[in-house]
Amino acid sequence: MTQGATRSQTPSGPQKKAGQAPALLLRDIDKAFDGKTALSGASFRLDWGEVHALVGENGAGKSTIMNVATGVYAPDHGEVIVDGRDVPLRSPVDAVAAGIGMVHQHFRLVGRFTVAENVALALGGIGRRIGIGKAAQLVKRKSAELGFALDPEARVERISVAEQQRAEIIKVLLLGAGIMILDEPTAVLTQQEAEALLSMARRLAQAGHAVVLITHKLQEVADHCDRITVMAQGRTVLDAAPMAQTSLAQVTRKAFGEVKEQEPVQPGTLGGELLRLENLRVRHGAVTLDGLNLSLRAGEILGIAGVGGNGQSELVACLNGLLRPLDGKIFLADEDLTAASPAKRRKAGLRVVPADRFDSALVRDMTLSENLALTGLESGRFGPWWGLSRRSMKRNAENSLKEFNVLGGGPETRASVLSGGNAQKVLLARELAAGTRVVVAHSPVRGLDLRSARAVLNLLVASARQGAACLLISEDLDEILRMCGSAAVLNRGRLSPPLSGADLNPARLGELMVGHA
Amino acid sequence: MTDLVLAWLTVFPGYTVPLLLASLGLVISERAGVLNLCTEGLMAVGAMTGALMALAGYDPLLAVACGALAGAALSLVFGVATVVFRADHTLAGLATVALGLGITGVVGRPYVQKPFDGLPRLSDTVWGADLPRLVGQQNILLPLTVLLLLAVWGWLFRTHSGLRLRAVGEDPAAADVVGIDIQLTQLGAVLASGVLAGLAGAYLSVAAAHVWVEGMVAGRGWVAVAIVIFAGWRPWGVLLGAGLFGGAEAAMLRLQTLGLDFPIYLGAMLPYALTLLVFCIACARRRGENAGPAALGKAYLRQDKH
Ligand SMILES: Nc1ncnc2c1ncn2[C@@H]1O[C@H](COP(=O)(O)OP(=O)(O)OP(=O)(O)O)[C@@H](O)[C@H]1O
Ligand SMILES: [Mg+2]
């Protein structure tokens, strides 16, 4: 892998022409985890100079096949051919040496280290031992080349997710990767950041790299990718089809079979006020919520738009009872819950679905039946305190899993094994159970595939139709516009008055999201 | 009064060095992500082995080296259990302490309370005769310890292999993808901590007491565990912590020899009380910031779902 000479204008990279051996060829890959098949006979073909989309539902095996290509998982069967050569990939370093780099769904950066230290560490792994100062210089030069700012001396845990991602990309490029695999890179980015990332991917491809883009957002695929591979249930169902000759409808059909349409959100008749926030003030770390007022009626789905980090998590924690407000009041149908414990709030019918399914929501290492029973123990449904009834827990789980169409696990499956979408459905099954009056959902479909996303949103619509009040906190404007009759914008800890009707449009929301008001 | 302070200054290093050595070892092992609670046992084995060798008539320096090796050998048991077989770090650590104390109880019984010459003071060596009293009263392990402190600090924070070791303790998955052998690194770190703990133990018998008594480690291994936390896993903090605890212990004994009427139990309790106090202060000051290597005590398997 030679470094290109055109260092100044375009990102340097391998100068490969079309018509040569494919950059990466995976043939007939099988992989099972503890007897559970993740890949069976999957294949993948990537050429130099292209941006190649890899799509498929949650748990289809996209991350797994790319982890095989980067030596993280050893395949049970099949071959990996890099640039025409059959290279044994026994460990991640072998893949790095072969010029394959991956930006994982969960970044592989040491949080306590600075960006430069992370780069020095990675380069040391392939035998290029350089000092931290030299690494910092390399980072600076590379980020200037790619056209974005990144402070090499910053500690990784202190910088934003987008910056961490840039650090990962720079690290991978400095390792000399000609093949760059991006695993759901835009799931954690705002729209502008995503645009910047995708056009950078384009430039890399133009400079001769080969880029794989794993994503659930089909619009990105249509706008930025040259070819597409679709996976379903561990198999490749559409193999490297040119984007120009492929319609998104075709992709959806290949990936999911038939997809239920998003249920229409009818304005319906709104009931009385259920949730009221009065002049809520919260301080937590660098974020301050400044005098939030909000009123939510039965049957309403109110959106809260805004770029992440403007107080969303604090608002959720405050409603959850995990964060005490400095000032202000929380009412649920005239019952003052401001100082109530999480248990009391739950009893009153306030249910919260936080952004991270495994952070103050599901317990990773407990089974689904245990997870689903966890919030109903007090009710005595699962036996008295001295005799937990496994049978009724199991029955409850079976019913919930069926009702919410959870795939990939039964009552005795551990929660951590589920794909993101299915874990989210389990959580909703628990939180939308009987007695729910107000649902607060924070980015409920982040990282979910099209079908799961629709299913989850449909569940929220259904609960609103049954008279619950929903608060949908999301960074995705499309989602807000599709789901909500009215929406407010959270910006720097302040909540705009709700917009509805003709005022509720992307331009107006966008203005409020970036405004300095 | 000056006499008292001078006397305290003379014995102060003797109490600080073993704590410093043991804590340094712990810093290495825990920076690599292995929660190491076996120091008390390793020190006991080091102390006993050193004493046995000295009693057998070997050169005291050789005896000290054997103590260090014995510590390493026992730490290997712990290392294999935790790193290779992924046993729970806390349980394996406690089991190793029990093992170490058990071994010393059985093997060392015939040698209890038999004095030997041990490591000479610097002033008693041929070339150290006219050193000033304060320095002359120390032994050769003091300068060695200072060198070790510098070496560990430089290694952890100024070299590539130090960076790699810390990466393993912070985020094994990230370390793995850059090609670091997690198990080898952790095993090496555990061994290093075993050598240092064994050295600390041998110091107690061969350099300080010149005798072996069962139970002579007397909780210093646990104090070392506390020092490391207090120090925020940093070598210089360890120096401060070891100085604090060693100094307090030395002062206690000085005051007792002065004939101050001081309940002996109160004196014996002081290290623990001080540990508790220091902990509270350290925690209040830090508030969870800087709470040790992120992957401390967690087993890592590449195929685990993250
Ligand atoms: N380390 C692992 N141990 C056990 N099972 C695993 C492991 N990694 C993946 N799986 C399983 O393999 C299947 C494929 O998972 P994979 O992560 O590749 O899906 P994906 O297509 O990347 O999904 P997503 O869109 O949610 O990221 C899933 O059923 C998953 O539960
Ligand atoms: Mg994935």
Q: Which of A135, A155, A177 is the last residue of a domain?
A: A177
Separation between Cα atoms, residue A39 and residue B258, nearest integer Å = 77
As a dihedral over the C-alpha atoms of residue A216, residue A217, residue A220, residue A225, rounded to 10 degrees, the angle is 30
Token pair for A258: 């038939």
Q: Which residue has the higher pLDDT, A248 or A115?
A: A115
* Among protein residues, the one whose CA lies closest to atom 7 of ligand 1: B305
Q: Which of A110, A115, A117 to mutate to test the interface with B (most CBs of B within 10 A)?
A: A110
According to the model, what pLDDT value does residue B286 have?
66
pLDDT, tens digit, 9 for 90 and up, residues A224-235: 999 999 999 899
Cβ proximity of B115 and B60 under 8 Å: no
According to the model, what pLDDT value does residue A133 have?
92
Residue A221 predicted with pLDDT over 60? yes
How far are the Cα atoms of A26, A32, A42, B228 from residue A77, in angstroms, in the given order? 11, 10, 10, 47
- Co-location of A494 and A366 in the same domain: yes
Residue A18 predicted with pLDDT over 60? no
β partners of residue A37: A32
Q: Which of A121, A126, A422 to mutate to test the interface with B (most CBs of B within 10 A)?
A: A121
Residue to mutate, A62, A104, A414, A418, ligand 1, most ligand atoms under 8 Å from C-beta: A62
Residue B101 predicted with pLDDT over 60? yes
In chain A, what is the greatest distance between 2 CA atoms, to the nearest angstrom? 74
Q: Which atom of ligand 1 sits closest to the CA of residue A36?
A: 5
Instruction: State the distance from the centre of ligand 2 to the C-alpha of A67, rounded, in angstroms.
Output: 10
- Co-location of A136 and A250 in the same domain: no
- Co-location of A250 and A333 in the same domain: no
Q: Which atom of ligand 1 sits closest to the CA of residue A234?
A: 14
- Say how many domains are in chain A: 3
- Co-location of A144 and A203 in the same domain: no
Question: Rounded mean pLDDT of A145-149?
Answer: 84
Mean of pLDDT over chain B: 88
Separation between Cα atoms, residue B39 and residue B45, nearest integer Å = 10
According to the model, what pLDDT value does residue A448 have?
83
Q: Does a structural domain hold residue A89?
A: yes
Bridging pattern class, strands A100-103 and A179-183? parallel
Which ligand ends up closest to the CA of A217?
A: 1
Exposure class string for A251-270: b at 16+ Cβ within 10 A, else e:
bbebbbeebeeeeebeeeeb
- Of all residues in chain B, the one with the smallest CA distance to A68 is B303
Task: Classify residue A260 by its DSSP letter.
Answer: P
Residue A341 predicted with pLDDT over 70? yes
- Co-location of A45 and A129 in the same domain: no
Q: Which of A119, A145, A177 is the last residue of a domain?
A: A177
Confidence of residue A114 (pLDDT cuts 50, 70, 90): very high
According to the model, what pLDDT value does residue B299 have?
83
Count CA atoms closer than 13 A to A185's CA, side-chain side.
Answer: 29
* Candidates B163, B173, B294; nearest CB to A121: B163
- Of all residues in chain A, the one with the smallest CA distance to B173 is A108
Contacts A–B by Cβ distance under 8 A = 65
* Candidates A107, A108, A121; nearest CB to B164: A121
Nearest to A106 by CA among A414, A420, A479: A420
CATH assignment, B2-125+135-289+297-304: 1.10.3470
According to the model, what pLDDT value does residue B282 have?
74
According to the model, what pLDDT value does residue A266 have?
62
Q: Is A92 exposed, middle or buried (0-12, 13-18, 19+ CB in 10 A)?
A: buried
* Candidates B174, B302, B306; nearest CB to A110: B174
Question: Quick one: what percent of chain B has pLDDT higher than 70?
Answer: 93
Residue B162 predicted with pLDDT over 80? yes
What is the 3 state secondary structure string of A276-331? EEEEEEEEECCEEEEEEEEEEECCCEEEEECCCCCCHHHHHHHHHCCCCCCEEEEE
* Among protein residues, the one whose CA lies closest to atom 1 of ligand 1: B305
Residue A515 predicted with pLDDT over 80? no
Question: Rounded mean pLDDT of B153-179?
Answer: 90
The amino acid present at B227, given as its one-letter code, is: I
Instruction: State the distance from the centre of ligand 2 to the C-alpha of A448, rounded, in angstroms.
Output: 10
Q: Does a structural domain hold residue A36?
A: yes
Show residues of chain A in contact with B232, CB under 8 Å.
none
- Co-location of A313 and A416 in the same domain: yes
pLDDT, tens digit, 9 for 90 and up, residues A298-333: 999 999 998 877 888 889 989 988 888 999 999 998
Cβ proximity of B235 and B137 under 8 Å: no
Confidence of residue A264 (pLDDT cuts 50, 70, 90): low
Residue A42 predicted with pLDDT over 60? yes
Question: Rounded mean pLDDT of B152-163?
Answer: 92
In this structure, the number of other CB atoms found within 10 A of the CB of residue A158 comes to 12
DSSP labels, A375-442: GGTTTTTT--TT---HHHHHHHHHHHHHHTT--S--TTSBGGGS-HHHHHHHHHHHHTSTT--EEEEE
ipTM of the complex: 0.81
Q: Does a structural domain hold residue A75?
A: yes
Confidence of residue A342 (pLDDT cuts 50, 70, 90): confident
Separation between Cα atoms, residue B52 and residue B211, nearest integer Å = 9
In chain B, what is the straight-line distance between the N-terminal and C-terminal CA atoms, in Å?
A: 61
Q: Is A125 on the interface with B (CB under 8 A)?
A: yes
According to the model, what pLDDT value does residue A446 have?
83
Residue to mutate, A30, A64, A218, A231, ligand 1, most ligand atoms under 8 Å from C-beta: A64
Q: Does a structural domain hold residue A263?
A: no
Residues around ligand 2, an ion, CB closer than 5 A: A 63
Q: Does a structural domain hold residue A413?
A: yes
Token pair for B58: 């070997």
Cβ proximity of A64 and A38 under 8 Å: yes
Separation between Cα atoms, residue B162 and residue B153, nearest integer Å = 9
DSSP labels, B13-31: HHHHHHHHHHHHHHHHHHH
Question: Rounded mean pLDDT of A263-276?
Answer: 77
Cβ proximity of B32 and B186 under 8 Å: yes
Confidence of residue B303 (pLDDT cuts 50, 70, 90): low
* Candidates A91, A124, A417; nearest CB to B163: A124
- Of all residues in chain B, the one with the smallest CA distance to A105 is B306
Cβ proximity of A203 and A321 under 8 Å: no
Question: Quick one: what percent of chain A has pLDDT higher than 70?
Answer: 94
Instruction: State the distance from the centre of ligand 2 to the C-alpha of A58, rounded, in angstroms.
Output: 7
- CB within 8 Å: B163 and A73: no
- CB within 8 Å: B305 and A120: no
Show residues of chain A in contact with B164, CB under 8 Å.
121, 124
* Candidates A109, A416, A417; nearest CB to B174: A109
Strand ranges inside A135-216, DSSP E: 179-183, 210-214
- Of all residues in chain A, the one with the smallest CA distance to B171 is A110
Cβ proximity of B266 and A377 under 8 Å: no
Q: Is A44 exposed, middle or buried (0-12, 13-18, 19+ CB in 10 A)?
A: buried
- Of all residues in chain A, the one with the smallest CA distance to B162 is A121
- Co-location of A341 and A484 in the same domain: yes
pLDDT, tens digit, 9 for 90 and up, residues A416-434: 888 777 888 899 888 888 7
According to the model, what pLDDT value does residue B10 have?
84
Separation between Cα atoms, residue A508 and residue A487, nearest integer Å = 11
- Co-location of A307 and A432 in the same domain: yes
Q: Which residue has the higher pLDDT, A84 or A514?
A: A84
- Structural domain that includes position A60: 21-99+179-258
Q: Does a structural domain hold residue A61?
A: yes
User: What are the sequence ranges of the domains in chain B?
Assistant: 2-125+135-289+297-304
- Of all residues in chain B, the one with the smallest CA distance to A120 is B160
Question: Rounded mean pLDDT of A495-512?
Answer: 88
Q: Does a structural domain hold residue A215?
A: yes
Separation between Cα atoms, residue B85 and residue B183, nearest integer Å = 10
Q: Which residue has the higher pLDDT, A450 or B104?
A: B104
Q: Does a structural domain hold residue A6?
A: no
- Co-location of A188 and A116 in the same domain: no
Residue ranges around ligand 1 (CB below 6 Å) = A 33, 38, 56, 58-64, 408, 417, 419-420, 449; B 303-305
Separation between Cα atoms, residue A380 and residue A228, nearest integer Å = 52
Residue A496 predicted with pLDDT over 80? yes
Instruction: State the distance from the centre of ligand 2 to the C-alpha of A59, rounded, in angstroms.
Output: 7
Nearest to A159 by CA among A129, A125, A118: A118
- What residues of chain B have any CB closer than 8 angstroms to a CB in chain A? 160, 163-164, 166-167, 170-171, 173-180, 294, 302-303, 305-306
According to the model, what pLDDT value does residue B249 have?
83
Question: Rounded mean pLDDT of B59-67?
Answer: 95
Residue B275 predicted with pLDDT over 90? no
Q: Is A44 on the interface with B (CB under 8 A)?
A: no
Residue A46 predicted with pLDDT over 80? yes
Instruction: State the distance from the centre of ligand 2 to the C-alpha of A364, rounded, in angstroms.
Output: 17
The amino acid present at B247, given as its one-letter code, is: G
The sheet with strand A227-232 has its strands ordered as A100-103, A179-183, A210-214, A51-56, A227-232, A235-242
According to the model, what pLDDT value does residue B228 have?
92
pLDDT, tens digit, 9 for 90 and up, residues A362-408: 888 889 999 998 888 777 788 887 888 889 999 999 998 988 888 87
Confidence of residue A5 (pLDDT cuts 50, 70, 90): very low
Interface of A with B in 160-219 (CB under 8 A): none
- Co-location of A89 and A203 in the same domain: yes
In this structure, the number of other CB atoms found within 10 A of the CB of residue B179 comes to 21
How far are the Cα atoms of A311, A494, B40 from residue A279, in angstroms, in the given order? 15, 11, 56
Confidence of residue A9 (pLDDT cuts 50, 70, 90): very low
Instruction: State the distance from the centre of ligand 2 to the C-alpha of A202, rounded, in angstroms.
Output: 22
According to the model, what pLDDT value does residue A82 have?
93
According to the model, what pLDDT value does residue B288 have?
54
- Co-location of A133 and A94 in the same domain: no
* Candidates B160, B176, B306; nearest CB to A124: B160
- CB within 8 Å: A110 and B305: no
Determine the distance in angstroms separating the CA of A304 from the nearest CA of chain B, rounded to an integer.
Answer: 30
Determine the distance in angstroms separating the CA of A164 from the nearest CA of chain B, rounded to an integer.
Answer: 13
- Co-location of A131 and A210 in the same domain: no
Separation between Cα atoms, residue B50 and residue A13, nearest integer Å = 60
Which ligand ends up closest to the CA of B306?
A: 1
Residue B192 predicted with pLDDT over 90? yes
According to the model, what pLDDT value does residue B56 have?
93
Separation between Cα atoms, residue A461 and residue A473, nearest integer Å = 14
Q: What is the CATH number of the domain that holds A203?
A: 3.40.50.300
Question: Rounded mean pLDDT of A444-470?
Answer: 87
Q: Which residue has the higher pLDDT, A9 or B248?
A: B248
Show residues of chain A in contact with B294, CB under 8 Å.
111-112
Residue A2 predicted with pLDDT over 70? no
Instruction: State the distance from the centre of ligand 2 to the C-alpha of A419, rounded, in angstroms.
Output: 8
Cβ proximity of B223 and B273 under 8 Å: no
According to the model, what pLDDT value does residue A261 have?
67
According to the model, what pLDDT value does residue A78 have?
92
Confidence of residue B290 (pLDDT cuts 50, 70, 90): low
Determine the distance in angstroms separating the CA of B179 from the nearest CA of chain A, rounded to an integer.
Answer: 5
Q: SS3 of A240, please?
A: strand
